[in-house]
Amino acid sequence: MAGTGDLGRRIAHHRERLGLTREQVAERAKVSAGYVEYLEETPASPTSETVHRLAEALGTTADDLLGGGRERPPGRGPAAASPSLEKLDREECLRLIAPGGIGRVAFNGSHGPTVLPVNYKLHQGAIIFRTSYGGAMDRDLRTGVEGVEIVVGFEIDQIDEAQRQGWSVLVQGPFHHVPEEEVAEVIGADVTPWAGGERLLYIRIIPQQITGRRIHGL
């Protein structure tokens, strides 16, 4: 079977996501633990039947293991049977977003409603990310008036295609350019933008309201 791509990395990712050992995955997929280790560590071309058994053992799809869904937005599959929408309290929302990752800043820009993805970290109760001096976000969200704050939305989510479940958290609060005298304090958040470039302007969002939802099957 050709075109397996990063099959080994995907197998390891889903195995670790489920907290399984190679032996447990092997038992579920009816292969040897040594073969699971080989697939994770060596470029290989297993049969279609093996890929499907591994996908079932890992709670995902063969298409996902083979990297076929990388260019498609998540959530294209059918909903779970009898889906349930659960409201999350503030503490649970903070627990979900605490590891950091990619979130989306929503604000009224110069050309209308704007949503931009950024890498963020939660640091001392605030959301920290980096952008460019003079960039669109800097220009649109700099009031130039002392004491005037702009409130923005910040959304983070996680989708599990295989389990047909996921969660979404929305943070609303004032957007602040971190002043130079406080930059040393937020550098500890260790935020690294995937977009690269000279993104040396640190931004802090102070959560005023946090809401969240989790969807899962009954």
CATH fold, domain 83-217, is Pnp Oxidase; Chain A (2.30.110)
Tokens of 148: 């005037």
Integer CA distances (angstroms), 69 to 5, 61, 72, in order: 12, 10, 5
Q: Could you tell me the pTM of the whole model?
A: 0.70
CA distance 154 to 32: 45
Q: Which residue has the tokens 């996680």?
A: 158
pLDDT tens profile 81-125? 778 889 999 999 999 999 999 999 999 988 899 999 999 999 999
And the tokens for 181? 């005298």
pLDDT attached to residue 210 = 97
Q: Do 7-65 and 83-217 agree at the fold level?
A: no
Query: Residues 35, 37, 41, 45: what is their CA dihedral angle, to the nearest 10 degrees?
Result: 20
The domain spans of the chain are 7-65, 83-217
Q: What is the pLDDT of residue 107?
A: 93
**Fold observed for domain 7-65:** 434 Repressor (Amino-terminal Domain) (1.10.260)
Work out the widest C-alpha separation in the chain, in whole angstroms: 66
Q: Please check the confidence at residue 69 and state whether its pLDDT lies above 70.
A: no
**pLDDT value, residue 3:** 41
Residue indicated by tokens 């704007």 = 114
